[in-house]
Amino acid sequence: MDKKGQMKIQQMAFVLVAMMVFFAMVALVYFSIRMSGLESSAVSLEEEKAKELVKKISSSAEFAFGVTDCPNCIDLDKVLILSERKSYEGFWQLDYLEVERIYPYGEGICDRTNYPDCKSIKIIDSENYGSAVSAFVSLCRWESSKDGYFKCEVGRIIASGEGLRNE
């Protein structure tokens, strides 16, 4: 085979290698963009889930105030007990879940010693959580004064979806 022929083969080989390298680079760029898009779409799906959940959580069995027909009413006594239970860990697939009393104003995290004169009950409290969503609810509880009655106050429920974890 003459030198000119060998040169042509080498040229072609180089072009092919360059083409492969080019396509590999294009694929790498595409996949890195796609992966970041996937990550953000997974996060937005989790946020969407938290939004939908926060709208409906007041009617779930563990939160609902079932004594009277009251939409968006949370049984605060039940939630206080719920916050002490470990069996519900991971159940709502959230990183943060808090029930906060807005009016009348209270201070501090609720426990059995300061309840009901407190501000909030934390049911799920991960160290790192993303953006939180909230919904207004009525917080109903048994009030022992004046011979006892069910009292409802203004509050809100705050939740944040499960973030992505490297496991």
Partner 1 sequence: MTFIKNNMNNRGFEMSFAWMFAIIVGAVVIFLAIYFTTQFIGTEREIQNTEAGKQIGILLNPVETSLEDAKIAKITTPLETRIYNDCLIKSGQSFGSQKIAVATASGVGEKWVEPGTASSFYNKYVFSDSVVQGKEFIVFSKPFRFPFKVADLLFVWDLGDKYCFVTPPQWMEEELDDLSPEGIKVVGNLEDCETLDIKVCFSTVSNCNIDVNMNAQSVKKNKGTTTVYFEDSLIYGAIFAEPDLYECQVKRLMSRTSELSALYYSKSSYVGSVGCGSSALHGNLLALSNSTSHFEKSFDIILSSFISNELGTQNRRLSCKLF
Query: Any contact of residue 142 with partner 1 (CB under 8 A)?
Result: yes
Closest CA to 121 of 112, 136, 129, 109: 109
Considering the complex, state which of residue 67 and residue 154 has its C-beta at the smaller distance from partner 1: 67
> What span, in angstroms and rounded, lies between the C-alpha atoms of 55 and 78?
19
Closest CA to 114 of 101, 133, 125, 97: 101
Sequence length of the chain is: 167
Query: Any contact of residue 121 with partner 1 (CB under 8 A)?
Result: no
> What span, in angstroms and rounded, lies between the C-alpha atoms of 80 and 60?
15
> What span, in angstroms and rounded, lies between the C-alpha atoms of 126 and 112?
22
Query: Any contact of residue 41 with partner 1 (CB under 8 A)?
Result: yes
**Residue 56 Cβ vs partner 1, minimum distance, rounded to whole Å:** 5
Query: Any contact of residue 69 with partner 1 (CB under 8 A)?
Result: yes
Query: Any contact of residue 153 with partner 1 (CB under 8 A)?
Result: no
Query: Any contact of residue 139 with partner 1 (CB under 8 A)?
Result: no
Phi and psi torsions of 2, nearest 5°: -75, 170
Neighbours of 65 (CB within 10 A): 25
Query: Any contact of residue 93 with partner 1 (CB under 8 A)?
Result: yes
Considering the complex, state which of residue 1 and residue 103 has its C-beta at the smaller distance from partner 1: 1
Query: Any contact of residue 97 with partner 1 (CB under 8 A)?
Result: no
3-state helix, strand, coil in the chain (%, to 5): 40, 30, 35
**Residue 128 Cβ vs partner 1, minimum distance, rounded to whole Å:** 21
Question: Looking at 18, 22, 39, 56, which residue binds partner 1 (CB under 8 A)?
Answer: 56
Closest CA to 137 of 88, 75, 52: 75
Which stretches of the chain bind partner 1, using CB under 8 A? 1, 5, 8-9, 12-13, 16, 19-20, 27, 38, 41, 45, 48-49, 52-53, 55-56, 58-62, 64, 66-67, 69-72, 75, 77-78, 80-82, 84-85, 87-88, 90-93, 112, 142, 144, 148
